Structure 1
Amino acid sequence: MPIDEDPIVRVAARGEGVTQSGRHVPLAAPGDRVFGDGSLMPGPHRQVAPCRHYPQCGGCQLQHLDDAAYARYLVDRVEGALKGQGLDASIRAPYLSPPRTRRRATLHAERRGRQVHLGFTQAQSHHLIDLDECWVLASELFALLSPLRGLLAAQLPQSGRIDVHLALVDQGVDVVLHGRLGEGLAATEALTAFAQRHRLARLSIDDSYGAEARWQPEPVTITLGGVAVPMPAGAFLQATADGEAALIAGVREAVGDAPAIADLFAGLGTFAFALPGKVYAAEGAREAVLALQAAANAVQRPIFTEHRDLFRRPLTVAELDRFGAIILDPPRAGAREQAGELAGASVPRIAYVSCNPSSFARDAKTICEGGYRLDCVQPVGQFRWSTHVELVAAFSR
């Protein structure tokens, strides 16, 4: 090896390659060789990025990695977070969602002269990348981008930017436009005509006062565990259907055959509807709780809901001990308060679903200090080629 050669040995949390000497190199892959003059020799784990917008588009950060290196990155993120808290666990091979399967996304739109640009923002910038192609969005979502540019060309003001939230639901594509658009009868008729022409499931406008449906020919639902659940506009949905299935499989394995389960941060019921037996579902978002309960009532499932802020009012030890298993699926901040209560509980099994290895590891340490064992962790790469890492972990007492 030349004296000035420094090989890339891993990928850091933000996606840079890290050399043996600790140097961070943007867009480098494990096995690449970096020389003293800054030049780089590609290694065995580098691939040609499939998308023409990479690496400018911030929607992806890791398209230059092959699947083996991307999977290793996911494992390293989880392993590093756990080691930072003094924990060790069996980490399984990651599940990777295929390209072009993302069923929800929030894009941005802005006017530039007579044209409207629509896409993700550039990495570490507010500059908007106008998408001509996308290797992560489901084809049904990407097919709407060009028509949406035409609609927004007549609706957007001369300056400013709006967010465009897209989601695949049972009836087709659900669209929420966040921001101020044109007013008056002509603008309203144009929105309705667009929704009809493209057979949207729903078209809503949220001008900071909440989403208002402007077109909804029938109730919008998302099927979870075989049950059609009412879908509030802009509600949380797992990024890919197959990634959701991988998380559900991990949760089922973790909770086993417990006859009564508490699903905390339950959302619309992604896990509640996938489980047999009695389920108590707690969620802080009121619309989600109402949708979950309505769906459970319609099919007579033994799911009992509570509108509860689990950050301010976590389940107590006495409440937790009524169940045979607990499921946690908190937002990125984790569940510090609830983890503290779990540490003192005697419930035999816990499934923890996370989208942030750092907050997960912090909470896992608290739970383990209470006498639980972290049995295994299953990473899930739903956000293909991004630095976003999801996982499901199993704890037992």
Structure 2
Amino acid sequence: MSKASEILRIAAKGDGITADGRHVAGAVPGDIMQDDGTLQRGPRYVEAPCRHFGKCGGCQLQNADEQSLADFVTSRVANAAEGQGIAVGELLPTHLSPPRSRRRATLHAISSGGKPLIGFREGGSHKVVGLTECHILAPELFDTITALRQLLARRRGKYAVDIELTLVDQGVDCSLKNLPIEGLEQTEGILDFARELGLARLTLDQGYGPETLWEPEPATITLSGTPVSFPSGAFLQATSDGEEILVNDARAWLAEAATVADLFSGLGTFAFALAGKTKVLAAEAARDAHFACKSAAGIFRKPVHSIHRDLFRNPLQLDELNRFSAVLLDPPRAGARDQVDLLAQSTVERVVYVSCNPSSWARDAKKLVDGGYRLEKLRAVGQFRWSTHVELTSLFVRNVAE
């Protein structure tokens, strides 16, 4: 018979783990799993602020206190390094984004009994949770959801709409996919919606690709003081405070680098932060992001040379890498296996690796360490508050041969 056991930590998928290795859904450190299977709450359990918690898939950890959240985010990153046998020079303080700070989100809208439901999907399900409150989204994004609900309430028939919301310089950029607009009345209605809400842009995709229906002035996102054109659906760091932490680490660690290759550069989040005395090569596979970065660099005369290049199919080769004193890479969740293989063989002095997946990062980090780098600094970043999604910044420095 099992005995009462304390929850010691939170596992990668959000379950609590006891000393004897049992996983307990919804448990946090300090809770006690009784021998009859009931859960006795401990001092680090808090009441979830949102009524949708436990059903909505947007959050998994709202019942954990601030220290438990920070410990979870930190351990995800530190354990990933430890699992690969990588020594960490300095583990920097973890950053957690505050509530209601998320500036981008993908949601879904469906008709249910003639009424619209708009929200995130349930955990492990395609069912949509109709949000009446949200403690992670920026208020401007939630206000847009409220207005969309009113707009869709006037429509008849079934629909299943994908919604992308992003907070840009001019306001909310709203993209709707699979919402048919037929006739003058519906067209005028959705234009009135965009106008009255003061949207920065409204984009519709009715099966033929995205088309801009409303954009009073070009949508931009300012990156380290440089306004950059924002293509609909482009990648952006989830919170502005999280972006600031990532950028400040990159600046501090690469301040003395004369030349930097920014790989998987996107719109230029890091390229424009580093550009000044430093000359930056920005390599990006997404054509619209590449052109946005290139155009902004030209208009504002930044020392950023933007190239269109798929680094999965065509990574920078050794002769190219060895021209740079430092490399920064911020790849997708899969990591950068082939590019890191070459980087490990290079003469590049410093590598800053920003990641949204501790597992693929650890795999790549092991290759860098085996190739003669040491992990000097590591920071965990929790931009996706109350979720199990964790990001990080890291600095690798090439060992000097004695």
Pairwise same-fold verdict (TM > 0.5): yes
Q: Which residue of 1 aligns with 2:111?
A: 111
Q: Which residue of 1 aligns with 2:306?
A: 305
Q: Which residue of 1 aligns with 2:318?
A: 317
Q: Which residue of 2 aligns with 1:55?
A: 54
- Quick check: 1:254–1:393 contact (8 Å CA) kept in 2? no
Partners of 1:92 and 1:81 in 2: CA distance: 15
Partners of 1:222 and 1:209 in 2: CA distance: 26
What SS does structure 1 have at the residue aligned with 2:262? strand
- Quick check: 2:159–2:179 contact (8 Å CA) kept in 1? no
Q: Which residue of 1 aligns with 2:284?
A: 283
Q: Does 1:361 align with 2:362?
A: yes
Trace 1:238-253 onto structure 2 (pairs within 5 A): 238-253=237-252
The one-character-per-residue Cα deviations of 1:299-347 (angstroms, maximum 9, x if unpaired) are 1111101100000000011111111110000010110011001000011
Aligned residues: 395
Q: Which residue of 1 aligns with 2:152?
A: 152
Gaps of 5+ in 1: none
What SS does structure 1 have at the residue aligned with 2:37? coil
Trace 1:1-397 onto structure 2 (pairs within 5 A): 4-89=3-88, 90-155=90-155, 158-275=157-274, 276=276, 277-397=278-398
Shift of 1:193: 1.0
- Quick check: 1:254–1:350 contact (8 Å CA) kept in 2? no
The one-character-per-residue Cα deviations of 1:342-372 (angstroms, maximum 9, x if unpaired) are 0000110010000000000011011111101
- Amino acid in structure 2 at the alignment position of 1:347: V
Gaps of 5+ in 2: none
What SS does structure 2 have at the residue aligned with 1:252? helix
What SS does structure 1 have at the residue aligned with 2:393? strand
Q: Which moves more between the two structures, 228-237 or 158-167?
A: 158-167
Shift of 1:224: 0.4
The one-character-per-residue Cα deviations of 1:267-310 (angstroms, maximum 9, x if unpaired) are 00101111122110000000000000111111111110110000
Partners of 1:348 and 1:210 in 2: CA distance: 43
- Quick check: 2:284–2:310 contact (8 Å CA) kept in 1? yes
- Quick check: 1:110–1:162 contact (8 Å CA) kept in 2? yes
The one-character-per-residue Cα deviations of 1:12-70 (angstroms, maximum 9, x if unpaired) are 00000000010000010111110111111111211111111111111000001111111
Partners of 1:324 and 1:88 in 2: CA distance: 23
- Quick check: 1:170–1:221 contact (8 Å CA) kept in 2? yes
What SS does structure 1 have at the residue aligned with 2:111? strand
- Amino acid in structure 2 at the alignment position of 1:187: Q
- Quick check: 2:106–2:162 contact (8 Å CA) kept in 1? yes
The one-character-per-residue Cα deviations of 1:253-274 (angstroms, maximum 9, x if unpaired) are 2223101111000000101111
- Quick check: 1:141–1:166 contact (8 Å CA) kept in 2? yes
Partners of 1:146 and 1:344 in 2: CA distance: 53
- TM-score relative to the length of structure 2: 0.96
RMSD: 1.4
Partners of 1:357 and 1:139 in 2: CA distance: 30
- Quick check: 1:32–1:41 contact (8 Å CA) kept in 2? yes
Shift of 1:160: 4.2
- Quick check: 1:254–1:395 contact (8 Å CA) kept in 2? no
What SS does structure 2 have at the residue aligned with 1:386? coil
- Quick check: 1:71–1:93 contact (8 Å CA) kept in 2? no
